[in-house]
Structures are given as structure tokens and as C-alpha cells.
Amino acid sequence: MKRNDGRKNDQLRPMTAKVGVVKNANGSAMFKIGGTTAYAAVHGPRDLYPRFKQDPEKGLLRCDYNMMPFSGHGNRVRPGGGRRSKEISMVTQNAINPVVNLTDFPNAVVDVCIELTETDAGTRCAGITAASMALADAGIEMKDLVIAMSVGMLEGELIADVNGVEDCELGATDIPIAYIPSMDKISLLQIDGEISREDLKKALELGKKKCLEIYEIQKKALKEKYSEKVKSK
Amino acid sequence: METLKVKNRDIVVPGETLAEGMGFLPSRGTYRIRKEIKAQRLGMISVDKKVIKLIPLTGAYLPKVGDKIIVKVIDIMMSGWRVDTRSAYSAVLGLKDATSDYIAKGADLTQYFGLEDHMIAQITNVTSQKLIDVTMRGPGLRKLRGGRIITVNSHKVPRVIGKEGSMVTMVKQATDCNIIVGQNGRIWIDGEPEKEILAEEAIKKIEKEAHTAGLTDSIKKFLEKKTSKKLEVKGGSQK
């Protein structure tokens, strides 16, 4: 099968990552994969209101996912708040929560704002990838970085990093996953479409392998920001 | 097999493997999973024989007992003031800790400290739930009048102060400004307006170039060029 953008089945779209892009935030990052760009900004730890959400044992991680009004093609999902963005905010939070340690911040909150300026499928994955870099940049204690990407099934073949056309027009099965390498755990798994049990297993293996490619890019971006300072003597 | 995967002063990211084998000890900022030691946050590695420590480079200020910090009044309560500490938690300055004056019941507390006032205060207590008490009783603790407040990353404060206060003393010397550095990253500068700007510039430069070798020299050169004054670097005394 030939993919519509000429990629190999297991090839990711070109990626760029940058850390420290939002000056006002405690930590921030940008992650771009193909036609999808996610910005994540971390604010806090800070006071948490409404008060009934406060947890005296540990801090709360609160994620907010949002597509910007001009970001999409305007044909399928409509940007802005709604059922979809609420759900994605929740799965993002659940995907990142296993790695962060907020026991030092009882009653407080760490806010993660994820904004998508360009969207071409795989937005929640780009959002999670950017958010985990932003959290590291904000100096939050975490066991590992989280990487997310989507794998899919199109015309009976496994593909990595489903793009917009494959997802919306060609009807690929879209499986976004988030992966935590040091624990070898998957913290997000959603499936949109049909796939057999055996194929799903294979898809997850492919996803894990490909996530490690993104992991290297995350690490490089984070180190770049900080080693610059050490080098410029 | 015991292998060290990183060098001293390497920058690491969370989850990065620092060492393999049980021969190394994880210290602050690191954790052990199975037989590997991994980094728990973003920072710089310091290896001391078998102990691996991580020095954080970013992150919010964590209040510690004994720290002298610059606080801002955010609320006035029945018998004290609520102050902002530039951490996730606000602190309380009680009446008894604020002044040795006798204050009658129901007196107007704004005559001592009003909203938005800045003070240099010391942390006396931090509870497990991060309730913070500060005091104004102690040498050098006072309200800050005039001048300007700038903020730096609280992890860079040790570099701003320098060894035994050498760095801040040098900036003071060069700019003839009064400077007070709070452990929470707030810095008060008071002097001639142009000199204040220069001091601010110098401190921002220190913050930006913290963790580079030969920092004192490069700041000295910067200040000498700007002020055309000859500077001596020596250890002063600064909290």
C-alpha cells in the first residue's frame, strides 16, 4: 500500500520540538508533527480553587486541551470547548498522572494548558507529548516523560502516525496510545474503528517502538534549552 | 555490573538512566527502579563517589525553615497579615511576629503593613500541609520602602549571592545600590534610577548565565565596562 503522503507504513511525519516557548509560564513546550502543532504551558504549582477540589494529600494535575478556532479544516471537529475537548482533557490528564509526583504540593494544582494551533490528526497525542516536556521544563517531579502517538490500520495494513486524510477520508482505524518507557506501561489507549485482537497487539508493539523515536526528540529539545547555558561561556 | 551512564555536570531529563547496578546510591532528585537509577526531574548531575545527586535547574520555590524571603502582603486578617511567598502557598505573619509595639484590639493594621507592601521576612515554621509562618523579628528583617523588586528563578539565587556573598557585593559596589536577595527569588534594588537598571541588568545576566564556569569574571567585566570603575572581588557578608 502506498500512503497518501508518500510515507512508509512505519514512518512518522517530520517532527520538531522546542522547550521554553511561553515566557509567562513556569514551563512550556511546543511539539509539531507533520501538520499538527501543539503548545503546552504549565502554570503552578499554585492555589487551587474551587476549594472542594483541594486534596490535602497531594497536588492535583489539571489539563486543558483546546483547538484554536482557526486550527482545523472546519469540516469535521469544530474547535473550541465542548464534549470532545472535555473528554480529551480528561484522557490527557489520566495519561500523564501516573508519572508525576505532586505529594510535595498538598492542596495545590498544576495547570497544563494545551493549545493546538494547527491540526491534522493526532492532536491529543501531540498535546500529551508537548505537555510532558512542559512539565519537565517546569521542574515538576516526574518518573519519566510520556510519549504519545497514534497507530492505525488501513486497508489491512498497520500504519504509524495516522494523518488527517487517512483518519477522516480513507477511514483508517485510529489508535492513539501514550507510552511510559521506564515502566513499559501504556497510559492511554483509545480505538476509533475496528481491529482484531492479534492486530491490536501488533499495533501496540509498533507504537511502543515508534514512541521511542519521539522520546529521543523530547530529550534532545529539553537538553538543548539547558545545555545552551552551560556551553555559552 | 555497575556502570555510570552520565558524567558530572551533565544535564538530564526525567526518566533518564543515570547508573546501572546496586553499587550506586540514589540521592535527592533520583530514584531506583529495578537495578537502574533514574532521574526524577530536570537538572544537573553531581556524582560524589557512589552517591548520585541531581541539582534542579527549574521549578517553583519550596519554602524552608530559616530562609529569608521577600514577601508581599496580599490580605489583612484579624490578627495578622497574609503574605505571598512566590511559592504555591501563602504565609501568615502574626501580630506578635510583626512588631514589638503594643497593638490594641481592633487597631487598624494597615498602619504597620498595608496591601501590596513588600517586606523581608524569615520563615519560622512550615507544616506538612505547607502552612507557613513568617516573622519580622530578627536582624535585617524590615519593610522595604522605595526601590524596585525584580524576580529570578529561585534555583539561581545561590549564584546571584555568590560564595559568601561575593557576587552580590560586587554588584552593590559597582552600582552603589542597596540590594537584598530573598531566597524565594525576589530581589529588592534601591539606588539611583539608572544604577538600579544596571543592577537589574547584571542580575538578569547572572541568572541567564548561572552554571557557566567563570561567571564572576564575566560579570566583573560586564560591570567594569558599564561603570568604568575598577572592581575588587572579595567575599562579603550577605544573608
- Taking CB atoms and an 8 Å cutoff, what residues of chain B touch A44? 60, 88
- Report if residue B63 sits inside a domain: no
Q: Please work out, in degrees rounded to the nearest 5, the angle formed at the alpha carbon of residue A46 by the alpha carbons of A43 and B123.
A: 130
The pLDDT score that the predictor gives to residue B234 is: 62
Band (pLDDT 50/70/90 cuts) for residue A233 is: very low
3-state helix, strand, coil in chain A (%, to 5): 30, 30, 40
What's the CATH fold of domain A15-221? Ribosomal Protein S5; domain 2 (3.30.230)
Q: Does A145 touch chain B (CB under 8 A)?
A: yes
Write out pLDDT tens, residues B181-234: 999 999 999 999 999 999 999 999 999 888 777 888 889 999 998 888 777 766
Taking phi first (over 0 means left), then psi (-120 to 50 degrees means alpha), and beta for anything else, what does residue B195 get? alpha
- Taking CB atoms and an 8 Å cutoff, what residues of chain A touch B82? none
Which residues form the domain of B43? 3-56
Provide the residue type at B4 as one letter: L
Is a pLDDT exceeding 70 seen at residue B2?
yes
Q: B40 vs A232: CB contact, 8 Å cut-off?
A: no
Structural contact between residues B209 and B218, judged by C-beta atoms closer than 8 angstroms: yes
Q: B129 vs A56: CB contact, 8 Å cut-off?
A: yes
Residue in A45, A101, A222 closest to B13 by CB: A222
**Domain boundary residue among B144, B177, B197?**
B144
Q: B212 vs A183: CB contact, 8 Å cut-off?
A: no
| Torsion angle of C-alpha atoms A79, A65, A92, A139, degrees rounded to 10 | 150
Q: Does A1 touch chain B (CB under 8 A)?
A: no
The pLDDT score that the predictor gives to residue B140 is: 92
Strand ranges in B49-172 using DSSP code E only, listed in sequence order: 51-56, 68-77, 80-84, 90-94, 118-126, 132-135, 142-144, 148-151
B223 shares a domain with B152: yes
B110 shares a domain with B72: yes
Write out pLDDT tens, residues A178-214: 999 999 999 999 999 999 999 999 999 999 999 999 9
How far off is chain B from A148, nearest CA to CA, in Å?
16
Write out pLDDT tens, residues A32-49: 999 999 999 999 899 999
Q: B88 vs A44: CB contact, 8 Å cut-off?
A: yes
Write out pLDDT tens, residues A98-148: 999 999 999 999 999 999 999 999 999 999 999 999 999 999 999 999 999
Write out pLDDT tens, residues B69-91: 999 999 999 989 999 999 999 99
Band (pLDDT 50/70/90 cuts) for residue A70 is: confident
The pLDDT score that the predictor gives to residue A82 is: 87
Q: Count Cβ–Cβ pairs < 8 Å, chain A vs chain B.
A: 101
Q: Does A185 touch chain B (CB under 8 A)?
A: no
Band (pLDDT 50/70/90 cuts) for residue B237 is: very low
Q: Does A34 touch chain B (CB under 8 A)?
A: no
Is a pLDDT exceeding 80 seen at residue A73?
no
Check which CATH number belongs to the domain holding B50 and give it: 2.40.50.100
Report the percentage of chain A scoring pLDDT > 90: 87
B97 shares a domain with B120: yes
- Taking CB atoms and an 8 Å cutoff, what residues of chain A touch B207? none
Q: How many whole angstroms separate alpha carbon A213 and alpha carbon B164?
A: 46
The pLDDT score that the predictor gives to residue A76 is: 60
DSSP class per residue in A71-122: SS-SSSSPPSSSHHHHHHHHHHHHHHTTTB--TTSTTEEEEEEEEEEE-SS-
Provide the residue type at A127 as one letter: G
- Taking CB atoms and an 8 Å cutoff, what residues of chain B touch A229? 208-212
How far off is chain A from B101, nearest CA to CA, in Å?
33
- Report if residue B46 sits inside a domain: yes
- Give chain A's length: 233
- Taking CB atoms and an 8 Å cutoff, what residues of chain B touch A108? 88-89, 130
Number of compact structural domains in chain B: 3
Among candidate residues B143, B139, B147, the one with its CA nearest the CA of residue B110: B143
- Taking CB atoms and an 8 Å cutoff, what residues of chain A touch B61? none
Check which CATH number belongs to the domain holding B107 and give it: 2.40.50.140
Check which CATH number belongs to the domain holding B216 and give it: 3.30.1370.10
Write out pLDDT tens, residues A3-35: 999 999 999 999 999 999 999 999 999 999 999
Domain limits, chain A: 15-221
- Report if residue B124 sits inside a domain: yes
